[in-house]
Structure 1
Amino acid sequence: LPKLPVPPLRDTLTKYLDSIRATVTDKQYEKTQEIVKEFGSPGGLGEFLQKKLLEHAEMQDNWVYQFWLDDMYMKVRLALPINSNPGMVFPKQNFNDQNEQLRYAARFISGILDYKVIIDSHLLPIDRARSREKGQPLCMEQYYRLFTSYRYPGVGKDCLVTSQAQQQVHENEHIIVVYRGQLFALDVVCNSIRLSDDNIYSQLKRCVRMAQEEIDNHLRNYGNKPLPVGIMTSASRDVWAAVRRTMAENPTNQSYMAEIESCMFVVCLDDKSDVSMANQMIHGLGSQFNSVNRWFEKTMQFIIAEDGACGLCYEHSAAEGIAVVQLIEHLLAYMFLQRRKLTRMQSMCDLVPPRHLKWEISNDVMEKIKIAANELDRFLSINNLDLYVLRYEGYGKEFPKSQNMSPDAYIQIALQLAHYKIHQKLVSTYESASIRRYREGRVDNIRACSVEALRWCEAMVHGDKIDAGTKISLLRNAVKKQTDIMVQAILGYGIDNHMLGLRQIAEDTNIPTPKIFADVTYKQSNHFALSTSQVVPTTMDAFMCYGPVVPDGYGACYNPHTSSILVCLSSFRESSTTDSRTFAMALAQTFDEMKQLCLAASSSVTSSSSLVSAANQK
């Protein structure tokens, strides 16, 4: 694959000014315009940083990858649940008892092992671009990190470590099973032989029995349950990093951490809950429920509850949603077929018992665990994460296509109008744009808050006297602008990565923060009050969701189906300015209005054509 290009400085600065115009006042824009002009002047600081960035790019496979990874994830000190880890909901199952839950989990684990063989053998078909240089091969590195990565906590900065995927199956490979806060290392490949579904089921039953025995013993001897160490991974990154360092001074604890950090994935066997499946997948509902049943910094964490709620909580730094969705599609197909082709072990005597991770915890660490649990519960006790799943049934992606509009751009512009209706303004918007056409490509940003979008929103909300023809023209202009920004971003010429690169080069060369990056406009432009992403599982009842990225913002993860549109909206109830249901209702109304507008404009064109035809005949 080619290297990611470094865009021309002048182009990026022009696009930057264009991107902020719809969200700042005239006075603020003029001030920023002067700062940008000075930064980009001949022989100025911008040209110096651009030269240094080009030199850096010469020595890297992907010049922005580490800058982006650190800025987006590794340097962020917030807790992983809600703030970073997305959740994914799978179709709900119907289990009559715990045995059915465990049998389903065993088949599920087999399905993952089946997929991992394909990954380890590098036999995945290469993804190819479906538009804009159609057929171009895409970088596949994210797939190979799904089962080989771990996010290590650090004070000030985390570290993503990825081991090399092997060409052949290891002699022994293990997973981590969590039940009621107790963790077990379970070998699923023994002496190069994969366990059968029945053997995995038997081992899971062992884990459940051992966990319950440990809990009963603890209640008998101490009057309480064992403290769940996994809850510490829900704490802020600096807090957990310090606790982890203390715990790792004990050789037993250190060996347990090594088991977790080197496992393929985590399986969480959850208890029943009568609340939102989406909330359960994102954070586990608190320390009295299933949040104790998590290890939030492992890349892949599959959740199978006794009441049939199933899904995924994944640590985001290793891969984007596309790689995860491909895996889930394979798993759901596998579960549907219920294939049983694995080699069977001959007897239970041959199976290595699951290794129960019985931590050795000091009094100080005990207090830290209690504090972490209380902090998570405090946050969840007010039900701060406000999730609303909108299932819009009016139409799906086929309608925008019938109007010669990109469904993605169409939905993005709808999100802009919904926000404008509620808040009477547009805000900085993040939409992930895949740059996998390039080596080690992850994402850049598609900014939907354009001047064209603002003009259309103003016409729709305040333009009672504006005719349908003018409004549809403004809509098409907004969609075209959105599409143009998208194309530039996926081809490697977006502005956000380039601006980040210039800023980081300045920091790395000990240059005081340039005015352009200290400017209030730049900070405002990176305060993404609307964080969006299109994630497209083909299974109707599967969807992804995540929290807002700023306290006063919204998260919007959407999936346009053939005849419906699913949007999972999130906000924080602590914010006095946001409300997910209000946004969802405004968005549904917007979808209706957009269709009516398109049809009215089409009808007007058809009527005009008929009149012209009649006149010609006369």
Structure 2
Amino acid sequence: MAEAHQAVAFQFTITPEGIDLQLSYQALNQIYLSGVRSWKKRVSRLRNRVIKGVYPASPSSWLFVVIAILATIALASLFFQCKMSHFSWSQTKKQICTYLKKYISGQTMLSVLVFSTLLWLSLILALRFCLKLLLSYHQWMFEQHGRVSNTTKVWVTLLRLLSSRKPLLYSYQTSLPILPVPAIKETLSRYLESVRPLLTDPGYKRMTELANQFESNLGNRLQRYLKLKALWATNYVSDWWEEYIYLRSRGPIMVNSNYYGMDFLYVTPTALQAARAGNTITALLLYRRKVNREELKPSRVPGTVIPLCAAQCERMFNTTRTPGVETDVLQHWQDSEFVAVYHKGRFFRLWVYTAGRLLSPREIEHQIQRILDDPSPPQPGEEKLGALTAGDRVPWSQMRKQYFSSGINKRSLDSIERAAFFVTLDDEEQGMRGEDPAGNLDRYAKSILHGKCYDRWFDKSFSIVIYKNGKSGLNAEHSWADAPTVAHLWEFTLATDAFQLGYSEDGHCKGEVDRSLPLPQRLVWDIPSEVQAQVCSSLAVAQALADDVDCHVFPFRDFGKGRIKKLKISPDAFIQISLQLAYYRDRGGFCLTYEASMTRLFREGRTETVRSCSNESCAFVKALEDGEVLIHSLILHLFRLASERHQNLYRMAMTGAGIDRHLFCLYVVSKYLGVDSPFLKEVLSEPWRLSTSQTPVQQMELFDLKNYPDFISLGGGFGPVADDGYGVSYIIVGEDMINFHVSSKYSCSQTVSKASVTFMFGCDIGHFVHIWHTFLHLFPTSPLL
């Protein structure tokens, strides 16, 4: 829209009398207002840089220091003068005024300003250093609930004092501690302990020998390089993790990397597709505004004042993963005033700002409806063009370089890649509905995860899907951020859509419409036969991958964290041990289990692995499955040990004492040095047949779930990590519900996540529920727990 106005802002014709210049004042006014908006954002960014640059102090404290130093020096000098002159204070009002006027002039004032500024900066650095020391204290996490040490109490008091000022989103970034490199001996010891229940005695002995050889020979050499990187880099893991785990993957990112988020389970705020799109797009742009202005409160450890790293928010919008031959690249633009929209094979650029203001939800709905009503057919090769982002990365990179680096194809591709985000107006209906709600819920999950394999743009940081019946969903690219960051965004969007923006009685968005808004712009393509052939090839690869994914969403309503916490058990530990029991009952053994934990207590921290299959959890499962009449006190004791062990593993992962990221970085260093390690090679090739993750819920108090119980979030899920394994995502909703998302592959006969007959790991739904009730029956009022 801005380009269209600029194109007609100046019109001129050459006449015999000279040049006849015509100006469109309306267009010039819009250009002026857009410029004002741009400069306001620049000023706001500059202001925020100053405020967060001096945190935990404030910019106004500089004036306080200047006045204090000036007053101290002046009074001290005046006192000395008075003492030398032998006159009393009561006689010197006039002399004081005369003296101060003389004193506050010239070089003395300049010297005071310079000295005060340097002192102020020194105090800021001291305060920031103290805050960093406080945030480096993690012993609080390992203390039992209700038994807080005096050290921790003092620590909490000091942390509250230094954090008393209202922080901006990124205020804590420079005060967060650096992720420490664990001692190699401790990492190897923890690794051997984690694989003990999975190996036979000879296998464990062999692995122990490999670990000892690695430590005595190559390990210490690799560790020295890693410590050197930790001294130089902000985070010794994150850049390598992003590059080698995500960006260097040459296979499809659809299903294998991207993940999804779902709409409310029971409620659809409006059945009008255009209206739902209008509010959803508006809510997302309001969130972007808060991020740009740093008005969002920094995320914290739930129930504490301890901040988490917010670096992942920086690339949330206006970001695209662009393909390369060897590695992809994340491209981020400072701002974008439009979104890219896909509908029935056509791509559109939708401007969401006019005259420097954000369009109202009703205006965005009006523009979306124009797209829905557009009868024009797709251009040749346009309909399935998005399949290039769903297939292998190398062919997409070659096509992009050869056919999308210039001309109209480049301009159209830029409109997609530079957009704030991508929107798909799906022509299907989804949700838990009809005569087969469970089956429809599974199809809903698959639709968001991969769709038709060509109607999503999987390279965008995230894509929004709005279905024909008003349901919505989100598909997120994984390299730029992890699920908690995206969950925060999606939760804000759903809550703002339903409770802040709302709808009129007839289901439309609220607000007025400027009917003079220009039409959304169709993107124009010139797609040759070579590209169309590659589109078909990429689509075949993606379709085979999508057809093999078996998704099942299961809302578990028998009980939730409310009843579990009454037993003084960690809900996450309860679920993880339940998963171990379910897997054992289905497969007759245990497997390497991945649970994602965050390391955002540290600067630029991302995730760490919690190896949930432990000696203690296996001992409990085997005892429970022994088949003989067992003493309940013994089972209670084993379960308590398993639960405490899991919580301790989670705490260690959060505080930088995990296993897998350290070993991964040692492996990367070995590759740079050109040396092979049989130990590291075997460790990093072990399959994660059970990959699990908990999605956080209600990070922001935008509405009360108790007062609005129907507005339950379904959470989200991801594809299976191993061909013969499961991907399990769960979200603990309120006090009485847990939603599970289970994925596996149809091609593996040993894994089943079928909705109509089974729930998890091949177990019948009733059988799995029985597992949970077995736990609850064992621990009704146990004093041990």
- Note whether the superposition's TM-score is higher than 0.5: yes
Q: Verify: 1:140 aligned to 2:310, yes or no.
A: yes
CA contact (8 A) 2:745 2:751 kept: yes
Match of 1:530 among 686, 690, 693: 690
Which residue does the alignment assign to 1:323?
485
2:465 corresponds to which residue? 303
CA shift for structure 1 position 463: 4.0
Deviates more, 1:527-536 or 1:72-81: 72-81
Amino acid across the alignment from 2:469: D
User: Structure 1's 225 and 366: CA in aligned 2 closer, same or farther, altered over 3 A?
Assistant: closer
Helix, strand or coil for the counterpart of 2:720? coil
CA deviation after TM superposition for structure 1 residue 38, in Å: 1.3
Shift of 1:84: 1.3
- Match among 191, 195, 216 for residue 20 of structure 1: 195
Which has more radius of gyration?
2
CA gap of 1:325–1:379, structure 2 versus 1, over 3 A, is closer
Instruction: Kindly provide the amino acid, as one letter, of the partner of residue 122 in structure 1.
Output: E
SS in 2 for 1:446: strand
> Which moves more between the two structures, 101-110 or 577-586?
577-586
- Partner residue, 2:65: none
2:423–2:465 CA contact under 8 A, matched in 1: yes
Code of the residue aligned with 1:292 in structure 2: it is Y
Could you tell me which residue of structure 2 aligns to residue 254 of structure 1?
A: 410
Contact 1:414–1:591 (8 Å) recurs in 2: no
Asked if the contact 1:194–1:343 (Cα under 8 Å) also holds between the matched residues in 2, the reply is no
Partners of 1:388 and 1:440 in 2: how far apart?
33
Distance, in Å, in 2 between the alignment partners of 1:112 and 1:58 is 38
1:405 corresponds to: 569
| 3-state SS of paired residue (1:431) | strand
- Structure 1 SS opposite 2:454: helix
Query: Could you say which residue in structure 2 is the equivalent of 1:45?
Result: 218
**1:431 touches 1:533 (CA, 8 Å); kept in 2?**
yes
Q: In the alignment, is the contact (CA less than 8 A) between 1:529 and 1:553 conserved in 2?
A: yes
**1:39 and 1:46 in contact (8 A); partners too:** yes
Deviation at residue 353 of structure 1 after TM alignment: 3.3
263-272 or 591-600, which deviates more: 591-600
Q: Give the alignment's TM-score, normalised by structure 1.
A: 0.87
Name the CA distance, whole Å, in 1 between partners of 2:323 and 2:382.
Answer: 23
Q: 1:10 aligns with which of 171, 185, 189?
A: 185
Alignment equivalent of 1:518, drawn from 665, 681, 692: 681
Deviation per residue, 1:511-548 (Å, 9 max, x gap): x22121133x5522xx1111110013354143201110
Return the offset for 1:35.
Answer: 1.0
Letter in 1 for 2:185: R
Structure 1 residues 109, 446: closer, same or farther in 2, change over 3 A?
same
> Could you tell me how far 1:352 is from its partner in structure 2?
4.2
CA distance in 1, matches of 2:772, 2:268: 39
Q: Is the CA contact 1:151–1:158 (under 8 Å) kept in the aligned structure 2? A: yes
Cα deviations by residue, 1:548-574 (Å, 9 ceiling, x for unpaired): 011111010001231122111110010
Contact 1:395 1:563 in 2 (8 A): yes
Q: 1:399 Cα shift?
A: 2.3
Post-superposition offset of 1:587:
7.5
Paired residue for 2:533?
Answer: 367
Cross-structure match for 1:101: 273
Question: Per-residue CA shift, 1:470-492, capped at 9, x if unaligned?
Answer: 12211111111111110000011
Normalising by structure 2, we get a TM-score of 0.69
SS in 2 for 1:214: coil
Aligned equivalents of 2:214, 2:327: Cα separation in 1? 30
Matched ranges for 1:114-513 at <5 A: 114-130=286-302, 134-164=304-334, 173-210=337-374, 212-215=375-378, 226-273=382-429, 275=440, 276-284=443-451, 286=452, 291-337=453-499, 339=501, 347-349=514-516, 351-380=517-546, 383-510=547-674, 512-513=675-676
Alignment correspondent of 2:252: 79
1:66-106: CA deviations, max 9, x gaps? Answer: 11112321122221221111111102766997xx2112211
* 8 Å contact kept, 1:300–1:312: yes
**Count of residue pairs the alignment pairs up:** 574
Moved more, 271-280 or 359-368: 271-280
Deviations 1:384-412 (A, max 9, x none): 21112222222101222122211111111
AA at the equivalent of 1:535: T
Is the 1:414–1:587 Cα contact (8 Å) retained in structure 2? no
Maintained 8 Å contact 1:535/1:557: yes
Q: Once structures 1 and 2 are overlaid, which stretch shifts more, 224-233 or 103-112? A: 224-233
Deviation at 1:361, TM superposition (A): 0.9
Q: Which has the higher contact order (CA 8 A, sep 6+)?
A: 1
Secondary structure class of the residue paired with 1:332: helix
The SS at the match of 1:268 is strand
597 and 467 in structure 1: CA distance in 2 versus 1, 3 angstrom threshold: farther
Match of 1:292, SS state, is coil
1:22 maps to amino acid: P
Deviations 1:225-273 (A, max 9, x none): 8542112111112222222222224421112222211111111100024
Between stretches 335-344 and 449-458, larger displacement belongs to 335-344
Q: 1:343 to 1:399 in 2, by over 3 A?
A: closer
Of 370-379 and 182-191, more deviation after overlay is shown by 370-379
What 5-or-longer segments of structure 1 have no aligned partner? 165-169, 219-223, 607-618
Return the offset for 1:354: 2.2
Give the secondary structure class of the aligned counterpart of 1:571: strand
Quickly say closer, same or farther: Cα 1:409–1:145, change in 2 above 3 A. same
Change (3 A) 1:85 1:51: same
* 1:356 shift after superposition: 1.4
Give the distance between the partners of 1:601 and 1:175, measured in 2 at CA.
53
Contact 1:468 / 1:597 at 8 angstroms: preserved in 2? no
Structure 1 position 566 matched with structure 2 position 739:
yes
> Which stretch of structure 1 is more off in the superposition, 269-278 or 255-264?
269-278
Provide the secondary structure at the position in 1 that maps to 2:611. coil
RMSD of the alignment, in Å?
2.5
3-state SS of 1:386 partner:
strand
Equivalences for residues 56-95 of structure 1 within 5 A? 56-91=229-264
- Alignment deviations for residues 411-442 of structure 1 (CA, whole Å, 9 cap, x no partner): 11111111111111111111111111111111
1:577 aligns with 2:744: no
Partner amino acid, structure 2, of 1:368:
Q
How far residue 340 of structure 1 moved from its aligned partner, in angstroms, is 7.7
Matched position secondary structure for 1:27: helix
Cα distance change of structure 1 residues 588 and 476 upon mapping to structure 2, 3 Å threshold: farther
Residue 211 of structure 2 aligns with an amino acid whose one-letter code is V
Pair 310,586 (structure 1): closer, same or farther in 2 beyond 3 Å = same
Identity %: 29
Q: Pick closer, same or farther for the CA change 1:403–1:247 going to 2, 3 Å.
A: same
**1:38 is aligned with what amino acid?**
Q
Q: Which amino acid aligns with 1:107?
A: N
Q: 1:103 to 1:392 in 2, by over 3 A?
A: closer
The one-letter code matched in structure 1 to 2:306 is Q
- Supply the AA of the counterpart residue of 1:423: R
Q: Is the 8 A contact 2:423 2:466 kept in 1?
A: yes
For the residues of structure 2 that align with 1:435 and 1:47, how far apart are their CA atoms?
Answer: 24
For the residues of structure 2 that align with 1:603 and 1:91, how far apart are their CA atoms? 35
TM-superposition CA deviations, 1:270-303 (whole Å, max 9, x none):
002465211111111x3xxxx4321011012111
Q: CA deviation at 1:338?
A: 5.2
CA apart distance, 1:586: 5.7
Aligned mate of 1:36, from 193, 211, 215: 211
